[in-house]
Structure 1
Amino acid sequence: MLLTKASEYALLSLIYISQKETPQDVDTMAFELDIPKSFLAKILQTLAKDGLLKSFKGAKGGFTLIKEAHCYTIKEIINSAEKKDINVFECSGGTCPSNKEKYCSLLPILVNLQNRIDDFLESITLADIINNGKE
């Protein structure tokens, strides 16, 4: 499983937005977070399209969270940013790409690993990251 800069930037931008009371514009966030503006805009639009952010147009436009920080799981944020489900290996979703399930003793172990990772990522919320070390 390789998480890309898109996941990192999605998490950083959601943390940033969660700490503000008004919609946050791409220009300000790109500058503050040191993220390329066009890349950040693309990520934020994907998050908005997937229902994780609300987008406002106009001079006072920008992005806000749709729900409370404790309602976002890290798994849903990463899945949205990466535009796919997170899989440790190609076959960890339970299907062997080479159609050799009958002969592969590794498949059940990889599926179990994937389930544990999914559970772990589902158990961590955006609020957990924001509050880390503050409790």
Structure 2
Amino acid sequence: MFSQTVEYALRAVVYLADHAPNARTTDQIALATQVPKPYLSKVLQNLGRNQIVRSQRGTGGGVTLVKTPQELTILEVVNAVEPIERIHTCPLNIKSHGKQLCPLHHRMDEALGMVEKSFAQTTLAEMLAEPTGSHPLCEAAPSVPSECPSSAIAELKRQI
């Protein structure tokens, strides 16, 4: 249902929210989120154009969130890279259907509406604070090496 671009954008933003308000480099984000750096760079540019992240070059620079994790919703991130497209008219362009969706497309639109509502009601801070036994990204769980590629663990140890 969601593209790889949406997945990568969410991983990057969750990582930044988890480290807010500190800036992180593209290398750090790519490593922790397991997103290829060239792809990540394009995703971050798109998020920047849509006022989700900002970047600063130079010493002490990096990428940060524009809003706090308490203010930023999952829906804002998703809509910044690939907006959820609701079904308002017949996707088959059947003139007799017009805005009266058939049962299939009506249910599909209802499902999209539920996802949209859930994402709009969930901030990054709320998601990170959920009392689960797992953390969204491998970096935060170095005690479980099987969940992270060995190269990521080695790089994280080097940075510590």
Task: Give the TM interval when normalised to the shorter protein.
Answer: 0.7 to 0.9
1:114–1:32: structure 2 CA closer, same or farther, 3 Å change rule? Answer: closer
Structure 2 alignment gaps of length 5 or more: 133-160
Residue 131 (structure 1) aligns with? 129
1:50 equivalent in structure 2: 50
- CA-CA distance at 1:56 after TM superposition: 0.6
The match for 2:90 among 93, 96, 107 is 96
Q: In 2, Cα distance between the equivalents of 1:31 and 1:112?
A: 37
Looking at both structures, which has the greater relative contact order when contacts are Cα pairs under 8 Å and sequence separation is at least 6?
1
2:5 corresponds in structure 1 to 6
Q: Distance in 2 between matches of 1:56 and 1:66?
A: 12
1:32 aligns with 2:32: yes
Q: Structure 1 length normalisation: TM-score? A: 0.80
TM-score w.r.t. the length of structure 2 is 0.69
Q: Deviation of residue 101 (structure 1)? A: 5.8
- Percent sequence identity is 27
Query: Bigger radius of gyration, 1 or 2?
Result: 2
Q: 1:77 Cα shift?
A: 0.7
The answer (yes or no) to whether the contact 1:95–1:101 under 8 Å persists in 2 is no
Contact 2:15–2:32 (Cα < 8 Å) also in 1: no
Q: What is the deviation of 1:22?
A: 2.5
Which portions of structure 1, spanning 4 or more consecutive aligned residues, are displaced by more than 6 angstroms? Answer: none
